[in-house]
Amino acid sequence: MIAAHGGVGFRADPSLSVACADALRDSDVDVVSAVSSLEDNPLFNCGYGSNPTMEGTVECEAGYMSSDGFRFGAVGAVSKIKNPCRVARTLALSKGSENLIDPMVLVGPGAENYARKQGEIGSDLILWCHIFRFSFLKS
Protein backbone atom coordinates (compact mmCIF):
# COMPACT_ATOMS: atom_id res chain seq x y z
CA MET A 1 0.00 0.00 0.00
CA ILE A 2 1.27 3.45 -0.89
CA ALA A 3 -0.27 6.62 0.52
CA ALA A 4 0.56 9.84 -1.33
CA HIS A 5 0.22 13.27 0.24
CA GLY A 6 0.69 15.94 -2.41
CA GLY A 7 0.73 18.88 -0.02
CA VAL A 8 -1.96 21.20 1.19
CA GLY A 9 -3.58 23.96 -0.76
CA PHE A 10 -6.72 25.78 -1.70
CA ARG A 11 -7.62 23.96 -4.89
CA ALA A 12 -8.54 20.43 -5.82
CA ASP A 13 -7.03 19.38 -9.12
CA PRO A 14 -8.38 16.22 -10.77
CA SER A 15 -4.96 15.80 -12.41
CA LEU A 16 -3.60 14.74 -9.01
CA SER A 17 -5.42 11.39 -9.23
CA VAL A 18 -4.04 10.85 -12.72
CA ALA A 19 -0.51 11.63 -11.51
CA CYS A 20 -0.88 9.10 -8.66
CA ALA A 21 -2.11 6.44 -11.08
CA ASP A 22 0.81 7.19 -13.44
CA ALA A 23 3.27 6.81 -10.56
CA LEU A 24 1.92 3.33 -9.84
CA ARG A 25 1.44 2.16 -13.44
CA ASP A 26 4.17 -0.52 -13.31
CA SER A 27 3.21 -3.53 -11.23
CA ASP A 28 6.77 -3.94 -9.98
CA VAL A 29 7.22 -0.31 -8.97
CA ASP A 30 8.92 0.30 -5.66
CA VAL A 31 7.88 3.04 -3.26
CA VAL A 32 10.87 5.28 -3.96
CA SER A 33 10.25 5.14 -7.72
CA ALA A 34 6.60 6.03 -7.16
CA VAL A 35 7.45 8.94 -4.87
CA SER A 36 10.17 10.11 -7.28
CA SER A 37 7.53 10.24 -10.00
CA LEU A 38 5.43 12.49 -7.79
CA GLU A 39 8.48 14.62 -6.88
CA ASP A 40 9.04 15.15 -10.62
CA ASN A 41 5.43 16.24 -11.18
CA PRO A 42 4.81 19.99 -10.71
CA LEU A 43 1.24 19.30 -9.52
CA PHE A 44 2.57 18.00 -6.19
CA ASN A 45 3.97 20.13 -3.41
CA CYS A 46 7.16 18.10 -3.18
CA GLY A 47 10.42 17.92 -5.10
CA TYR A 48 10.16 19.84 -8.36
CA GLY A 49 6.66 21.12 -7.60
CA SER A 50 7.42 22.44 -4.12
CA ASN A 51 6.02 25.77 -3.09
CA PRO A 52 8.53 28.46 -2.14
CA THR A 53 9.15 29.38 1.47
CA MET A 54 8.46 32.88 2.77
CA GLU A 55 11.98 33.77 1.60
CA GLY A 56 11.22 32.53 -1.92
CA THR A 57 13.41 29.44 -1.74
CA VAL A 58 12.43 25.78 -1.85
CA GLU A 59 13.27 23.49 1.05
CA CYS A 60 12.34 19.83 0.77
CA GLU A 61 12.54 16.90 3.12
CA ALA A 62 12.05 13.17 2.74
CA GLY A 63 12.35 10.08 4.87
CA TYR A 64 12.77 6.40 4.10
CA MET A 65 12.18 3.50 6.46
CA SER A 66 12.47 -0.21 5.82
CA SER A 67 11.42 -3.06 8.07
CA ASP A 68 14.12 -5.12 6.37
CA GLY A 69 17.01 -4.48 8.74
CA PHE A 70 15.13 -1.64 10.45
CA ARG A 71 16.91 0.96 8.34
CA PHE A 72 16.03 4.67 8.37
CA GLY A 73 17.33 7.70 6.52
CA ALA A 74 16.10 11.25 6.05
CA VAL A 75 17.15 14.53 4.47
CA GLY A 76 15.77 17.97 5.23
CA ALA A 77 16.05 21.66 4.34
CA VAL A 78 17.43 20.81 0.89
CA SER A 79 17.06 23.02 -2.16
CA LYS A 80 19.22 21.36 -4.80
CA ILE A 81 18.13 17.72 -4.59
CA LYS A 82 15.69 16.78 -7.35
CA ASN A 83 14.48 13.59 -5.64
CA PRO A 84 14.99 13.81 -1.88
CA CYS A 85 13.35 10.39 -1.38
CA ARG A 86 16.15 8.71 -3.38
CA VAL A 87 18.80 10.34 -1.20
CA ALA A 88 16.93 9.33 1.97
CA ARG A 89 16.87 5.70 0.76
CA THR A 90 20.56 5.78 -0.17
CA LEU A 91 21.38 7.16 3.28
CA ALA A 92 19.27 4.48 4.98
CA LEU A 93 20.89 1.64 3.04
CA SER A 94 24.46 2.96 3.10
CA LYS A 95 27.21 1.05 4.79
CA GLY A 96 29.51 3.48 6.56
CA SER A 97 33.00 3.11 7.86
CA GLU A 98 33.57 0.45 10.50
CA ASN A 99 34.86 3.19 12.78
CA LEU A 100 31.82 5.45 12.50
CA ILE A 101 28.13 5.21 13.21
CA ASP A 102 26.18 5.71 9.99
CA PRO A 103 24.28 9.02 9.88
CA MET A 104 20.52 8.68 9.66
CA VAL A 105 19.48 12.31 9.13
CA LEU A 106 21.27 14.97 7.09
CA VAL A 107 20.04 18.53 6.55
CA GLY A 108 20.93 21.59 4.53
CA PRO A 109 24.38 21.80 2.93
CA GLY A 110 25.48 18.50 4.53
CA ALA A 111 22.59 16.67 2.86
CA GLU A 112 23.29 18.40 -0.46
CA ASN A 113 27.00 17.49 -0.29
CA TYR A 114 26.05 13.87 0.43
CA ALA A 115 23.59 13.89 -2.50
CA ARG A 116 26.25 15.36 -4.81
CA LYS A 117 28.61 12.48 -3.94
CA GLN A 118 25.78 10.04 -4.74
CA GLY A 119 25.06 11.73 -8.09
CA GLU A 120 21.62 12.91 -6.95
CA ILE A 121 22.13 16.67 -7.06
CA GLY A 122 20.00 18.79 -9.37
CA SER A 123 19.51 22.47 -9.98
CA ASP A 124 17.55 24.80 -7.73
CA LEU A 125 14.04 23.40 -7.47
CA ILE A 126 12.07 26.62 -7.78
CA LEU A 127 9.54 26.41 -10.58
CA TRP A 128 8.94 29.66 -12.40
CA CYS A 129 5.19 29.03 -12.35
CA HIS A 130 5.35 28.78 -8.56
CA ILE A 131 7.41 31.96 -8.32
CA PHE A 132 4.79 33.74 -10.40
CA ARG A 133 1.87 32.18 -8.54
CA PHE A 134 3.32 32.96 -5.12
CA SER A 135 4.95 36.29 -5.96
CA PHE A 136 2.92 37.83 -3.14
CA LEU A 137 5.35 36.17 -0.71
CA LYS A 138 8.07 38.59 -1.74
CA SER A 139 5.92 41.72 -1.56
Query: For the segment 51-110, what is each residue's pLDDT rounded down to a tens digit?
Result: 778 887 788 999 998 888 889 999 999 988 889 999 999 999 988 777 778 899 999 999
Domain ranges within the chain, ordered by starting residue: 15-137
- pTM of the predicted structure, to 2 decimals: 0.74
Tell me how far apart the 2 most distant CA atoms of the chain are, in Å. Answer: 51
Query: For the segment 32-56, what is each residue's pLDDT rounded down to a tens digit?
Result: 888 888 888 877 888 877 777 888 7
Q: What is the pLDDT of residue 27?
A: 45
Q: What is the pLDDT of residue 28?
A: 47
